[in-house]
């Protein structure tokens, strides 16, 4: 089974995945090490990742966690989207040293639920976990529960941070 852990940057993907005793691929590192970078986005200061290249290089891997904010564009059996209250996300990204534009872009995407939307357009088995008020270990345990097939209560579509958008106007 291929479990894709996705979510806006800062929602906790990397920290939580580390707590799960399963083989895993951190996609940003993997893309760099495997020449799956197709360019550089100078506006956002990030590498442009070649998804088809990643797909090819990960094709034969099974029983693995694929970790990254575009993991839902790969071939997944289950997609798990991590979510965070936009205000808390903003402070996490500020601590990380992101510039103002990048913070706003990500916070807005989170408030809109963009990644959940993308994942639900592509897959049937999509789950969401709100990491705002729970510890990383608890998030990891929920992921294990979902993988076991016991995560119905975490089916995607219930988390709504849209009201946060209205506060900015
Ligand atoms: P991502 O990989 O999704 O970008 P990280 O795992 O790097 O996110 O986490 C971003 C920041 O949020 C880190 O400083 C991390 O310690 C913190 N963090 C992650 N999960 C939680 C959580 N459940 N509760 C509080 N802080 C968290
Ligand atoms: Mn990460």
pLDDT at position 45 is 85
Burial class for 158, CB neighbours closer than 10 Å (0-12, 13-18, 19+): exposed
Please provide the CATH number assigned to the domain covering 2-158.
3.40.50.300
Closest residue by Cα to residue 15 from 95, 122, 100: 95
pTM: 0.97
The secondary structure of 115-149, three-state, reads HHHHHHHHCCCEEEEECCCCCHHHHHHHHHHHHCC
What is the CA(137)–ligand 1 centre distance, in A?
A: 11
Q: Which ligand is nearest to the CA of 81?
A: 1
CA 7 to ligand 1: nearest atom:
3
Cβ 36 vs Cβ 54: under 8 Å: yes
Cβ 93 vs Cβ 103: under 8 Å: yes
From CA 3, how far away is CA 126, in angstroms rounded? 10
Q: Which residues line ligand 1 (CB under 6 A)?
A: 7, 9-15, 92, 131, 134-136, 139
Q: Identify the residue whose C-alpha is closest to ligand 1 atom 5.
A: 12
What is the CA(125)–ligand 1 centre distance, in A?
A: 24
What is the CA(12)–ligand 1 centre distance, in A?
A: 3
Which residue from 12, 81, 130 has its CB within 8 A of the most atoms of ligand 1, so it is best to mutate?
12
Cβ 103 vs Cβ 94: under 8 Å: yes
Mean pLDDT by 10 residues, the chain (169 residues): 98 98 97 97 91 97 97 98 97 96 95 98 97 98 98 97 83
């Amino acid at each position: 089974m291929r479990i894709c852990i996705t979510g806006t940057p800062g929602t906790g993907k990397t920290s939580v995945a580390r707590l799960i005793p399963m083989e895993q691929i951190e996609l940003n590192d993997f893309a760099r090490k495997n020449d799956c970078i197709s360019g550089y986005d100078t506006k956002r200061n990030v590498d442009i990742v070649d998804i088809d290249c990643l797909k090819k290089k990960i094709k034969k891997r099974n029983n693995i966690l694929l970790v990254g904010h575009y993991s839902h564009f790969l071939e997944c059996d289950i997609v798990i989207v991590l979510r965070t209250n936009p205000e808390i996300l903003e402070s996490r990204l500020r601590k990380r040293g992101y510039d103002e534009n990048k913070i706003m872009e990500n916070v807005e995407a989170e408030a809109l639920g963009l990644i959940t939307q993308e994942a639900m357009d592509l897959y049937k088995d999509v789950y969401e976990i709100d990491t705002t008020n729970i510890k990383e270990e608890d998030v990891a345990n929920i992921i294990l529960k979902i993988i076991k097939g016991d995560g119905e209560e975490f089916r995607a579509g219930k988390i709504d941070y849209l009201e946060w958008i209205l506060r900015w106007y």
